[in-house]
Chains A and B, each alone.
Chain A
């Protein structure tokens, strides 16, 4: 059974970055209406990512020799927290900074690091992650996209879907089968860095319910990959994928997806919105949740810094965090409707509509609620 999560703090040297990031955002954040900022880490703006990179804040945890900022998890925590709270459009560099860069740094060979990491850190090279397939969702080990040895390289065939930003990205890190059959489950999976400009790669955007195109279907037809497309060890794809999950599941992005909506509503209450006891209490409730979740998320980060792998605790933070993110639009809608003779500002209503419509995705991406609760049950010794 998992034990207590002791209080942990963000170390002062990481906390010191906060003022710098806020200052940068005051200058550099494009003037976007709140419902655009509510896209949070789904908002794409290559230009903004390059400005952030020029400031040294892309490739945050990559080593200096590869052009990274060589910052620790807590520095990244502060920077990401401020970017998300402001609704900065971080999606272009998000995957490279958060997952692909660290993965290549950890499992890639020297040539791969030398080639990819400086480009990621300069905000020139954007990455996407190819996990889901038409018949592979939560059951990730069932992937059927296959890489077969072909001379000294590989030949790739198959289909990925729900790949965020594939249409804007230069590379995909794809989890595919490189040996055996789907019944082998976790064995025989490998990760490849797929250059999306190669012949045989076809990317088709899928429009979402808000009219945005961030999802894609990516089809591979006889795609010839060079030998060095393989990242890490052949057959070790599953272990590599799961190694980073605790980071992905416990960060500020699992708590702040509806922060722009919450703050837009607070702004209205502070100016001309109806300050009823019920709206004050709702705000207090949300703040009590946010304070507790953030302390839990910081506590998990400190365990990661200590070299532990708090997979269960991270799953717990993600499940509670996404529930909180989903509570915000539901509760604010009720609060606005509680005063039917007051017409809220258009920006607030548009932000609410966006967050409310997209909220179901918060507990789908990165592991569904049911999968996470299964992991927690395992961590508690129940399975």
Chain B
């Protein structure tokens, strides 16, 4: 199942989202063709129950799709739309059509101002605020540049929701999960590209991969990517006896991937040298996902606090006991 999904997601994005397409969409080009291809694949309804016309998969089952979206830096809200459709199905409401950006939750008494990735490519934004989440039309956005291309801060003077969801989903957890899976996918791609480049780039008469100093860096890169991928797998496991995401597993995963992201981006850029700073080389499409993903839906500092408090406020078990009871790998 895993391999099947991974293969078909890989094929989909290879075909529909090569780097030139990702770049064009980010710079204001239309995402319609890419979105149609994703829609046609059926992935967007993967988390919707079968009874409601979806595939009835759980987050852990859909991880390969989100990893692939990250590997190809697909500039559209794939995971976010999957989560939104599942939430609408759970609330027995018709899901909105097209890509839906997911805003980072705002406080109930805050202004109607929110930030979301891939807003430019979306017609609608789901804005969690207090106990509810409102589906709002995406307002007009400022011109494109390297910040605005991938995320936007939006303001609604007079919000006119098309629909509302009451409770049900912890959107901070859900959004963190979508981001961390995308980050793990981006890291995978960075590892492959960086190792390949180190084998091709010749200095001092031999490929730089032949130098011990570079090898040691690439080994650390490998370690962090493997840790990140494991953290993403753990974070996708449901709570015991439930189908939904487990807030503590997502906390651990988002925090660990955030730490990995710093090292991964630094080493990859170090190895690629000035080439990695160019618009032409796709490394920045990957590291952008790492940096933005870290910041979105709670960074390490936030999720570390959540985990630490859960341990201190819970039963008086050891660190191993806590991890073994709350954060262990489980039957998927």
Contacts and interface: CB of A to CB of B under 8 A. Distances in A.
Given A292-B256, A320-B223, A259 B320 contact: yes
Contacts of B233: 6-7, 295
A381 B195 contact: yes
A81 to B, nearest CB: 7
Given A292-B230, A320-B223, A374 B304 contact: no
Contact of B319 (A5, A266, A372): A266
B95 interface: no
A336 interface: no
Interface stretch (B100-108, B132-140, B141-149, B322-330): B322-330
B319 A284 contact: no
A382 interface: yes
A292 B220 contact: no
Nearest to A269: B312
Nearest to B302: A281
B251 A284 contact: yes
B96 to A, nearest CB: 33
Contacts of B309: 280, 284
B312 A280 contact: yes
Contacts of A2: 222
Contact of B215 (A286, A289, A383): A383
Nearest to A372: B219
B216 A4 contact: no
Contacts of A279: 308
A270 to B, nearest CB: 6
Contacts of B252: 287-288, 291-292
A288 B256 contact: yes
A316 interface: yes
Interface in B85-123: none
Contacts of A376: 219, 222-223
B319 A382 contact: no
Interface in B248-296: 251-253, 255-256, 259
Contacts of B323: 287, 290-291, 294
Q: Kindly name the residue among B230, B309, B322 whose own CB sees the greatest number of chain A CB atoms within 10 A.
A: B230
Contacts of B312: 266, 269-270, 275, 280, 283
Contacts of A372: 219
A293 B318 CA distance: 16
Interface string B221-239: 0110011011101100100
B227 A320 contact: yes
A372 to B, nearest CB: 8
A154 to B, nearest CB: 38
Nearest to A263: B318
B226 A266 contact: no
A296 B227 contact: yes
A8 B215 contact: no
Given A263-B319, A374-B212, A285 B230 contact: no
B195 to A, nearest CB: 6
A227 interface: no
Contacts of B167: none
A141 interface: no
Interface residues of A, number: 57
A357 B122 CA distance: 55
A263 to B, nearest CB: 5
B255 A373 contact: no
Contact of B330 (A9, A277, A280, A283): A9
A64 B70 CA distance: 50
B299 to A, nearest CB: 11
Contact of B219 (A81, A295, A299, A380): A380
B63 to A, nearest CB: 10
Given A281-B301, A281-B304, A8 B329 contact: yes
Contacts of A289: 256
A334 B40 CA distance: 53
A282 interface: yes
A286 B319 contact: yes
B308 A7 contact: no
Contact of A373 (B209, B219, B256, B331): B219
Contact of B327 (A6, A287, A370): A287
Contact of B226 (A85, A262, A316, A382): A316
A308 to B, nearest CB: 16
A183 B208 CA distance: 29
Interface in A208-265: 256, 259, 262-263
Given A256-B320, A292-B231, A9 B331 contact: yes
B219 A291 contact: no
A377 interface: yes
Contacts of A9: 328-331
A265 to B, nearest CB: 9
Contact of A377 (B218, B237, B327): B218
Contacts of B152: none
B41 to A, nearest CB: 22
Contacts of B215: 373-374, 377, 382-383
B332 interface: yes
B247 to A, nearest CB: 13
B306 interface: yes
Given A284-B305, A320-B227, 18 more contacts: A82-B320, A85-B321, A266-B312, A279-B308, A280-B308, A281-B304, A281-B305, A284-B255, A284-B303, A284-B306, A286-B319, A291-B256, A296-B230, A319-B223, A373-B216, A373-B219, A377-B218, A380-B219
Interface of A: 1-2, 4-10, 18, 81-82, 85, 256, 259, 262-263, 266, 269-270, 275, 277, 279-296, 298-299, 313, 316, 319-320, 370, 372-374, 376-377, 379-383
26 contacts: A5-B226, A7-B329, A256-B320, A266-B311, A269-B312, A275-B312, A277-B305, A285-B259, A285-B307, A287-B307, A287-B323, A288-B251, A289-B256, A290-B320, A291-B231, A292-B252, A292-B256, A293-B227, A295-B230, A295-B329, A296-B227, A373-B216, A377-B215, A380-B195, A380-B222, A382-B218
Interface of B: 2, 192, 195, 198-199, 209-210, 212, 215-216, 218-220, 222-223, 226-227, 229-231, 233-234, 237, 251-253, 255-256, 259, 300-301, 303-309, 311-312, 316, 318-324, 327-332
